[in-house]
Structure 1
Amino acid sequence: MDKLEGKVAFVTGAASGIGLGIATALAQAGVKVMLCDIEKDALARAVEALAATNADVDGVLADVSLKAELQAAADKTIARFHKVNILVNNAGVGGGAGYGEWTDASWDWTIGVNLMSVIWGFEIFGPLIEKAGEGGQIVSTASMAGHLPITGPAYAVTKFGVVALSENLRPVLAEKGIGVSVLCPGFIRTNIMESTRNVPSRLAGNVEEQDMAKGPVKAFAEMARKAIENGIDPLYVGELVREGIEGDWMYIFTDNEFEPGVDARYKGVKEGFDMIRGREPAR
């Protein structure tokens, strides 16, 4: 999409952090933006601040872990802007405790927000982008944890899933004129470590923060909290996403910090193949 002005974007998790950075960068490029979030007050502040810059924006409340609420948000977007060209599946939570301590509720919540909302986003908004007939782009926020299993299990499972879904659907939707990108940020200055502030009432009391304070990832968790507090500016990430949309990037990375880890992971995969090289499989 080499011309963004006048296009319409729907962004989830848009009231703060990466989502607000993306919404801001798109609005600055002349895109009309529907901001979607579960936090009422934060959403109102974000919409008010962007509208004050003469951006054409609006907001819609939704718990994206519920398909019906995401569908209702899509309907409100069409009613307000009459079309959608860009979908940003950005909402995410850092939920889920470690092995032996997790609950069904924590898995349901983390998978619902981080993965199912992305699946439903493709399902609900893909046809709307097609109907607009102007081409489009779908960007889904994964994480470097979608390439490296360095966090708690639930978060890693969902983020690997977002990467896999994006890779799978990219050639499919390319035939329909829709680009697919996956955003894999490193340490960004967000509130991801305080995700349980948004646990829905139906799950209250049954969801724990991602438990990285124990076991082999304890050192990483302690480092991550400090790194996030001093992380990359979300607006910079938003500008990268805008550029990625314009250039139809498959992967949108925010920095090179985890590149050696990715190289090491795939080296390990290659070594797995080397272990059986020369053997003739039984038929």
Structure 2
Amino acid sequence: MRDLAGKTAFVTGAASGIGLGIATALAQSGVKVMLCDIEQEALDRAVAELKATNADVDGVVADVSLKAQLQAAADATVARFGKVHVLVNNAGVGGGGGYGEWNDASWDWTLGVNLMSVIWGIEIFGPLMEAHGEGGQIVSTASMAGLVAAVAPAYNVTKYGVVALSEGLRGPLAAKGIGVSVLCPGFIRTRIMESARNLPGRLSEAMAGPSMETGNSEFARMAEAAIAAGIDPLYVGELVVEGIENDWAYIFTDTQFEPSVDARFAAIKAGFDLIRGREPRH
């Protein structure tokens, strides 16, 4: 999508962090943006700040882990802007607990926000893009943890899922004029370590305890420090705009974890080498 000016985008998790960076960069490129978030106060503030720059934006509150609320947000977007050309599935949460700590509620929440909302977003917005025939782009936020399983198990599973979904849909949707990109950020200055602030009431009691967050673990302290010194979300947003304009399959924010990805692929290659030359039984 070379000419983004005048197009419309829908961005989830848009009131702060990477989502706000993407929404801001899109607005600066002349895109009309519907910001979607679960936090009303933060959303109102983000929308007001963007409107102050003469950006054509609006906001809608939704818990994207609930399909009905995401559908209602899509309906509100069409009512406000008419068409949607860019879908950014960005909402995400951390936590989930390590082995021996997780529970059903923590899996439900992490899967619902990080993966199912992406699936539903594509299910809801894909046909809208097809219908207007003007082309489109779907960008879904995974993580470097979607290529190297280095965080909590539930988080890793959801992010690998977003990568797999994006890779698998890229060919089929290209035939329909819709590009598909997956964003795999490294350490970005966000509030991901404070995900519990948006924990739905229906899950809060079931998720009380160590399964919610990584707490005072060494990994948590390292992650908090890295995130605090991380990359500017607006820079990530600018990369995403470039990725949309050029239909990048993968959008990375830096090369910090490239050696880890190389090591993973080397381990996979070593697995093939172990059985090379053997004749399979049929």
Amino acid of the structure 1 residue aligned with 2:220: A
Partner of 2:225: 226
Q: Distance in 1 between matches of 2:38 and 2:222?
A: 28
> How does 1:11-22 map onto structure 2 within 5 Å?
11-22=11-22
Aligned to 2:214: 211
Q: For residues 8 and 186 of structure 1, what CA distance do their matches in structure 2 show? A: 27
How many Å separate the matches in 2 of 1:237 and 1:193? 18
User: Residue 98 of structure 1 contacts residue 210 of structure 1 at CA under 8 Å; is this kept in 2?
Assistant: no
Deviation at 1:225, TM superposition (A): 1.1
Match of 1:178 in 2: 178
C-alpha separation in 1, matches of 2:154 and 2:220: 15
Deviation at 1:213, TM superposition (A): 5.2
Which residue identity does 2:247 align to in structure 1? D
Give the aligned partner of residue 259 of structure 1.
Answer: 258
Aligned partners of 2:36, 2:239: CA distance in 1, in Å?
20
> Which whole-Å CA distance do the structure 2 matches of 1:222 and 1:265 have between them?
25
Give the deviation of 1:243 after TM superposition.
Answer: 0.2
| One-letter amino acid of the structure 2 residue matched with residue 201 of structure 1 | G
The answer as to 2:194 corresponding to 1:194 is yes
Paired residues, number = 279
Name the SS of the counterpart of 2:11 in structure 1: strand
Structure 2, gaps ≥5 residues long: none
Paired residue for 1:34? 34
Taking the aligned partners of 2:48 and 2:245, their CA distance within structure 1 comes to 26
Contact 1:95 1:109 in 2 (8 A): no
1:1-283, aligned counterparts within 5 Å?
1-207=1-207, 208-211=211-214, 218=218, 220-283=219-282
Stretch deviating more after TM superposition (17-26 or 196-205): 196-205
Q: TM-score, length-normalised on structure 1?
A: 0.97
Structure 2 SS opposite 1:275: helix
Q: Is the Cα–Cα contact under 8 Å of residues 151 and 212 in structure 1 kept in the other structure?
A: no
Deviation at 1:100, TM superposition (A): 1.1
d(CA) in 1 for partners of 2:145 and 2:34? Answer: 28
Distance 2:253 2:165 in 1: 20
Q: CA deviation at 1:157?
A: 0.3
Q: Residue 152 of structure 1 contacts residue 210 of structure 1 at CA under 8 Å; is this kept in 2?
A: no
The TM-score with structure 2 as length reference comes to: 0.97
Given that 1:145 and 1:159 are in contact with CA atoms closer than 8 Å, whether structure 2 keeps it comes out as yes
Structure 1 unmatched ranges of 5 or more:
none
| Separation of aligned partners in 2, 1:180 and 1:210 | 31
1:51 shift after superposition: 0.3
Post-superposition Cα deviations, 1:189-231, rounded to whole Å, max 9, x if no partner, equal 00000001000111112224343755xxx4x433221010010
Deviation readout 1:42-89 (Å, 9 max, x if unpaired): 000000000000000000000000000000000000000001000000
8 Å Cα contact 1:7-1:32 kept in structure 2: yes
Runs of 4+ in 1 over 4 A off after TM superposition: none
Letter aligned with residue 255 of structure 2: N
Deviation string, structure 1 residues 154-205 (Cα, Å, up to 9, x no partner): 0000000000000000001000000000000000000000001000111112
RMSD (Å), alpha carbons: 1.0
Secondary structure of residue in 2 paired with 1:151: coil
- Residues 100-155 of structure 1 show CA distances to partners (whole Å, capped at 9, x for unaligned) of 11110000000000000000011000001111211010000000000001000000
User: How far apart, CA to CA, are the structure 1 residues paired with 2:44 and 2:256?
Assistant: 34
